[in-house]
Amino acid sequence: MDETVLYSVDDELKSCPCCGGQAILRCGSVNGKSSNVYSIVCGTCGLSTVTEPTSIREDSHGSIILRESGADKVIKLWNRRVSDA
Ligand SMILES: [Zn+2]
């Protein structure tokens, strides 16, 4: 998976539940396809979430009716994991 560090989100992302390190939101592509997937990884110990794609739902005419960001999903997942720890 090709990965690009987008930005680190000090305010939105809690620190790592394992080591307290800074979490980083990453964006990558799967098998060279254009669909973006997101994951969050600890910059210190490498703890990471699963990757989540950005899902788009279309109506029968092909108009986009819902776009759910993979970044939002992994941020919620990461923050929930931290609070559960
Ligand atoms: Zn860590």
Q: Tell how far the Cα of 18 is from the centroid of ligand 1, in angstroms.
A: 5
Nearest to 36 by CA among 1, 65, 12, 75: 1
Q: Dump pLDDT digits (tens) for 24-68.
A: 999 887 666 656 789 999 999 999 999 998 888 899 999 988 888
Supply the range of the domain harboring residue 17.
2-84
Q: Tell how far the Cα of 5 is from the centroid of ligand 1, in angstroms.
A: 16
User: If 0-12 CB within 10 Å is exposed, 13-18 middle and 19+ buried, where does residue 54 land?
Assistant: middle
The per-residue pLDDT for 41 is 94
Number of domains in the chain: 1
Burial pattern 68-85, b for ≥16 Cβ within 10 A else e, equals eebbebbbeebeeeeeee
